[in-house]
Chain A
Amino acid sequence: DIQMTQSPSSLSASVGDRLTITCRASQSIRSNLNWYQQKPGKAPNLLISVASSLQSGVPSRFSGSGSGTDFTLTISSLQPEDFATYYCQQSYTIPPTFGGGTKVEIK
């Protein structure tokens, strides 16, 4: 199985901060990388597919980039509703595998 490693596992940030979360695959997954946001007690929500394609209704402050093994999720200006846990997931092969998550907390 392809291993997905996210960093950091948690971080504290303030409203308005620019945030970058990284995700590394154990082998090349081309651009087959998705990002999800999960709030406490809720199901995950797809933010970005195919590394950089923003889903409908997702604010433009979210962006994704990368290919091969290294990917990033960027939030350009953190808003109160963005405090959540973020997961990357490779969609290159079966089984799809997730990163361990990055919990974004309020500083």
Chain B
Amino acid sequence: QVQLVQSGAEVKKPGSSVKVSCKASGGTFSSYTISWVRQAPGQGLEWMGRIIPIFGTADYAQQFQGRVTITADESTSTAYMELSNLGSEDTAVYYCARDLVSGMTTVVTLGSWGQGTLVSVSS
């Protein structure tokens, strides 16, 4: 059973960037997509994008295009999500989640989740 452990909470200034990590253990890393999903306080879930480490191929939700970069390091089984030009509206808990099945298809089913990382943006 894979475990995903995320980096700790961050406090950022408006206009800055944040990079959150997600380390996988106990399962295969490279052939499963890792998605990033965020949840603003008291709000629902919003998918940001995903990567399949074996190919290094990422795709992103349109509303984050140009502002988010998702990468993966196979040697350490770690995925990263970097979000730039932060605003107060980016204050949220950011989750990484691994797909239930291997490969990269249009089907996204998030079977394993990290514990979440709170990113607070405030001047």
Residues of A within 8 A of B (CB): 1, 32, 34, 36, 43-46, 49-50, 55, 87, 89, 91-101
Interface size class of B (residues with CB under 8 A): 20 to 34
Q: Does B110 contact A (CB under 8 A)?
A: yes
User: Is there contact, CB below 8 Å, between B113 and A93?
Assistant: no
Residue from A45, A49, A50, A98 in contact with B45 in the complex, judged by beta carbons closer than 8 Å: A98
Q: Does B2 contact A (CB under 8 A)?
A: no
Complex Cα distance, B97 from A91, in Å, reads 14
Residue from A36, A50, A92, A98 in contact with B47 in the complex, judged by beta carbons closer than 8 Å: A98
| Interfacial residues of chain B within 61-88, with CB under 8 A of chain A in the complex | 61-62
Residues of B within 8 A of A (CB): 35, 44-47, 59, 61-62, 95, 97, 100, 106-111, 113-116
Closest 6 CB pairs of A and B: A43-B113, A96-B108, A98-B45, A95-B61, A91-B107, A49-B109
The A interface, classified by DSSP as helix, strand, loop or mixed, is: loop
**Residue on A with the closest CB to B4?**
A43
For residue B115, which residues in chain A have a CB less than 8 angstroms away from its CB?
A: 43
A-B contact pairs, 21 of them (CB 8 A): A1-B62, A36-B45, A36-B110, A43-B95, A43-B97, A43-B113, A43-B114, A44-B45, A44-B95, A44-B97, A46-B109, A46-B110, A87-B45, A91-B109, A93-B106, A94-B59, A96-B35, A96-B47, A96-B108, A98-B47, A101-B45
